[in-house]
Structure 1
Amino acid sequence: MKKRLIAALLAVSMLVPSGSALAVRLPEQRTERIYSTSTYINPLYRNEMTAAQLKTTREEDASEGSTQYVTSETELCDQLREDLVQRKSTITLHYQSNTYDKQDAENFFKKAVAHTGKPTEGDYLKWQYAGWEATQSGNVEGNTYYMTIKYTMTWYTTEKQEAVLDAKVKKILQSLKLDGKSDYEKISAIYSYVCSHVTYDSEHDADDSYKLKYTAYAAAINGTCVCQGYSVLLYRLLLEENIDCRFISGTGNGENHSWNIVKLGGKYYNLDATWDAGNEKPIYFLKCNENFTGHVRDSEYKTNAFYRNYPMGDEDYAETQKTHTHTYERPEFEWSSDLLSCIARFFCTLGDDIQQEACTVTVNENGTRTASCTFGGKTYIDQIISDTRRVEDIFTDVPATSWYRDFVQYVYDHALMSGVSETQFQPDGTLTRAQVAQILYNQAENPEVEESDRFTDVKKNAWYYRAVTWAAEQSIVSGYTDGTFRPNRAITRQEFAVMLYSCAGKPEVSGSVREAFADGGTVAAWANDAVLWAYQNGILSGERSGEDKVVRPADNATRAQAAVMMMRYVEWLESEA
């Protein structure tokens, strides 16, 4: 049975984390000033950390100006999560909303560190900081709030330490030679490694000033930590192998403690590497709750909702399930909602193991898409017809009578752009530099790229890493003098034209952009040829302003305008061919 896999989070959607929003400008008239502060201490450290020990933010630091405000809570949390992954000590966010709550800073933070299934996000972030202080400042104009939140983080590891840990994690997993192994074999090997290579840090157990003991860094690099370090390292290693895992906090024999649950055969089982460290045979490995004695979860991990999302096995994972020979049937293919990727899942005939393989997806001339993968020495193929539904039936904000309807249909059908959610295309929303790089990368059919650390703010776990790396390799984009790419900065109409012009190989042009547009003189010198080329080839037509035709080069490009330019650009490529 074929299923369409709805892309989760932004991790891995075709274009952008769901909820990209229109940037707005702060009104000149301000009628009311708002300022508040809040402090949050990581719950696991409330007995070891006080508010006075956290780094603080001065009031004047929190009022720095910016004219770019985010209107989507989803995008705001995505930006916050990205900065957290990079271990930034100071994080500043700007947003516009019709409501204001002093708890916004805490609510946004909780959403940013929610479990995503990505190794360096979710619980990995949630349990690697001591706490934060935040300031919320801004103005209210009528019923609209223009707010700035500034977080000052107290981390237990630095970005450099995380980079060292990244390399160590890669070496650990390589040394375990997990390719081709079953999920059980992977879990067993990783668990055995942690239990045999990490010892409990009794030396610093009572030393509240030594905070590194709580980290995966201490566990993997120093080989010694407290329970939290064990749990976070296990979480990171298992997710690196695409095995779902959660960090569970609570008490062990009445004292603060942490452990993990891991998914195997559709159910979750308890693991406690701290208590199994040094044991000749594991005692707390793949246990059901009933047999996981001495452990009591914190309230958030024993709600009905949590158990619905993470159903526990009724019995310990049986020994017979570990040793039999797996026999797999033909896979079940799951396509992403944008049809750009597909995963083949192979189910053992005994029902206790699932293997999954990423497929190679090709687009055929007749519009169908083919997914293929090799597993167990055999090649498996699935074919699906591209989604031909009308966009007005998919997106509530794309009316059938709108001027951009046909262009949105084109980019959607050709998998160049998707919606910001299942029901919203957001035609008036803006695009970021990373999003445009992803669109052009999609048009190029997602070629392979060589790993590169070209930009300091483009990390290898970012959803746009491959697209930006490819665009830089092709000289379609460049960074700034400080070594950054600034992926979240909104892109202007003339910048979009330059990127398309670079994709086209920068063909020669003649003429003057001043003759084409009444405001042609405002086009930047570095964008003159690109804007003129785009105009002469029907890719950028401009707009009417009274009797004049204008291009408004410095205005942010909207998603609807991007759809128009992409359709016309692809048609130009086809005509050139």
Structure 2
Amino acid sequence: MKRVTKSVTALLLALVLSLTLLPAQALAADTAPAQTTYIGSYVNPAYAGKIGIPRRQSTLSVQTAQITQPKKAGTVYTSEAAAAADLRKQMVSRSEVMSVTLRSASKDVETIALNLWNLAMDHVEGSGTTGDYLRWQFAAMSCRFTGESLDSGYRYTFTYVPDTRYSDTIWFTTNAQEAALTNYIRNTILPQLSLGGKTTYQKVQAIYNWITANVKYDYSHMNDPTYWPQYTAYAAAVQKKAVCQGYANLFYRLANDAGVDCRIITGKGYNDDGTADHAWNIVRMADGKYYCLDATWDAGLKPENYEYFLKGLTSFSRDHQAETDKLNTPYWTQYQSRTSAADYKASSTQLPAPAVTGGNDAQGRPTLKWNAVTGAAKYEVYRARSKDGDYIKYSTVTGKTAIPTITRCALWMPKARQARGAAWSASPTSRLCPPPPSPAAMTRRAVRP
């Protein structure tokens, strides 16, 4: 085995994270099995200089440990994407010690570390607990890696732990708090929102209405940047108090989990009190364009009085300025051209609801039928188990008939859609039940050998 050493220079994580790996030695052969562990410091640039950690990191001295019998590694990944996916799962579970092992042909440890972290923090459409949700809910961490020279390439294990100079934890919330939030969303928020079968606009509207009606700004901690819960979705939903980052995190989680693509944008907000760091959201609507929302500044208002709901850049940019440096949201440059200049018009995508009938086809199968809707390119069929239950998408068809596989009675509802986007506000439902068993089947069940 060769002893792995590497000259390590300062790393900058471009999107989220400032990484410093400290100088070590050059690769050299050794007759005795050994590994060297290097310690570096990661600080989330989004919070540098704001939450009790310095904007610039101090220099750390290298710590080394000679290991004659290294601990056997777990899964050894051969692609950075797979290793990052594992790291992402550990982040979601709020692990305070996170490790991934990667086999690579590269000696460039700096680039590998950078790529793993960036990939793990990438936005994932349809997932409200990853991406920006992770990016904006941690402060700092330390990283160590061990390396081993193989016959072909190298094996590296990267381990992330709390940076105890600032905190005993990496994350703003614990796994228990995230579990409590998940339960609260599932058992309290979602039943109130009743998102099943709703259009994109209706989902966004319901989520926004809930947040603005239930979450208050946390003025009691606004001058205490070390009180980290104020930045979290947990504080916004469960404690009903948060600052703008908590509002944006909660909206991000609920929207993405509901199938509405959403990002968190940060920059400057301009109001009567002057200029301040601020956070808000953008969402992709049925027309394929993104629109801006600021639940913090609409909090406590009635929906008819909203000033920052689904706004285009022309009006929203009057008092919001996105910033794309590493302390904010550099990915905004990927979305700016896809964000509408004009405000969203909900009525522009409405179609009449299909008229629904139920019954059986010629073979006796329960069948859902409806009339054709002018302008509809397809129909989505939704099912609910009870009158008060959520409607869950079952299938998509282009015709006017659906023959679902039915094992129990349920309520069924079609939703008309345009070629791009939803165009439906409400639709009658039809109750369908499985056909009764044939007399022969009843006889077979009744007779025992």
Task: Specify the TM-score bucket, using the shorter chain as the normaliser.
Answer: 0.5 to 0.7
Cα deviations across residues 528-574 of structure 1 (Å, max 9, x unaligned)? xxxxxxxxxxxxxxxxxxxxxxxxxxxxxxxxxxxxxxxxxxxxxxx
Amino acid of the structure 2 residue aligned with 1:216: A
Whichever residue aligns with residue 267 of structure 1, its letter is K
Partners of 1:307 and 1:30 in 2: how far apart? 55
SS in 1 for 2:221: coil
The answer to whether the 8 Å contact 2:83/2:102 transfers is: yes
Q: Which amino acid aligns with 1:90?
A: V
C-alpha separation in 2, matches of 1:114 and 1:240: 16
Mapped contact 2:133–2:249 kept (Cα < 8 A): yes
Match of 2:41 in 1: 39
2:141 paired with 1:132: yes
1:407-455 alpha-carbon deviations (Å, 9 max, x no partner): xxxxxxxxxxxxxxxxxxxxxxxxxxxxxxxxxxxxxxxxxxxxxxxxx
Where 2:260 maps in the other structure, the secondary structure is coil
Q: Look up the match of 1:289.
A: 313
Whether the 8 Å contact between 2:218 and 2:230 is mirrored in structure 1 is yes
- Answer whether contact 2:216 2:242 (CA < 8 A) is retained: yes
Hey, what's the Cα distance between the residues in 2 that align with 1:251 and 1:61? 49
Cα distance in 2 for partners of 1:74, 1:80 equals 10
Distance 1:71 1:238 in 2: 34
C-alpha change, 1:93 and 1:164, in structure 2 (3 Å) is same
SS at match of 1:111: helix
Mapped contact 1:136–1:150 kept (Cα < 8 A): yes
Where 1:119 maps in the other structure, the secondary structure is coil
Give the match for residue 436 of structure 2.
Answer: none
Q: Give the helix-richer structure, 1 or 2.
A: 1
Q: Which shows bigger deviation, 204-213 or 215-224?
A: 204-213
Tell me how far apart the structure 1 counterparts of residues 225 and 99 of structure 2 sit (CA, whole Å): 29
State yes or no: 1:89 paired with 2:103. no
Is 2:79 aligned against 1:80? no
What value does the CA root-mean-square deviation take over the aligned residues?
Answer: 3.8
Q: Where does residue 173 of structure 2 map in the other structure? A: 157
In 2: Cα distance, 1:71 partner to 1:225 partner: 41
What's 1:301 paired with?
331
* Cα distance change on mapping 1:377 and 1:262 into 2, 3 Å: same
Partner Cα distance (1:276, 1:148) in 2: 46
Q: Distance in 2 between matches of 1:61 and 1:276?
A: 57
User: Is 1:312 equivalent to 2:336 in the alignment?
Assistant: no
Check the 8 A contact 1:102/1:136 in 2, yes or no: no
C-alpha separation in 2, matches of 1:200 and 1:373: 41
Superimposed CA distance per residue, residues 467-510 of structure 1 (whole angstroms, 9 cap, x where no aligned partner) = xxxxxxxxxxxxxxxxxxxxxxxxxxxxxxxxxxxxxxxxxxxx
Q: What SS is found at the alignment partner of 1:48?
A: coil
Equivalent residue for 1:373, pick from 392, 395, 410 = 395
The question of 1:277 aligning with 2:286 is answered no
Cα 1:348–1:222 change in 2 (3 A) is farther
- Return the match for 2:113 from 92, 105, 114: 105
Q: SS in structure 2 opposite 1:84? A: helix
Change (3 A) 1:156 1:98: same
Shift of 1:197: 0.5
- Kindly provide the CA deviation profile for residues 25-51 of structure 1, in whole angstroms up to 9, marking residues without a partner as x: xx9977885543332222221122426
1:6-405 equivalences under 5 Å are 33=35, 35-49=37-51, 50=53, 65-68=71-74, 69-99=76-106, 100-117=108-125, 118-141=127-150, 144-153=153-162, 154-170=170-186, 171-253=188-270, 254-265=275-286, 266-280=288-302, 281-292=305-316, 293-299=318-324, 300-303=330-333, 305-307=334-336, 311-318=338-345, 320-321=347-348, 324-326=350-352, 373=395, 379-380=401-402
Q: In the aligned structure 2, how far is the partner of 1:349 from the partner of 1:43?
A: 51
Letter in 2 for 1:190: I
**TM-score for the superposition, normalised by structure 2:** 0.63
CA contact (8 A) 1:39 1:134 kept: yes
What amino acid maps onto 1:166 in structure 2? T
* Native 8 Å contact 2:378 2:398 kept in 1: no
User: 1:197 and 1:204 mapped to 2: Cα distance?
Assistant: 18
1:42/1:131 contact within 8 Å kept? yes
Q: Secondary structure of the equivalent of 2:255? A: helix
C-alpha distance in 1 between matches for 2:233 and 2:193: 18
CA-to-aligned-CA distance 1:303-337 (integer Å, 9 cap, x gap): 2x4446xx112310125337x554579xxxxxxxx
Structure 2: distance between partners of 1:319 and 1:252: 26
Q: Which SS does the other structure have where 1:256 is aligned?
A: strand
**What code does the residue aligned with 2:91 have?**
L
> Can you list the C-alpha shifts for 1:78-120, whole angstroms capped at 9, x where unaligned?
1101111111000111111111322433331111111112121
Q: How many residue pairs end up in the alignment?
A: 322
Structure 2 residue runs without a partner (length 5+): 1-28, 163-169, 325-329, 356-371, 384-392, 405-449
Change (3 A) 1:212 1:61: farther
Q: Is the 8 A contact 1:29 1:141 kept in 2?
A: no
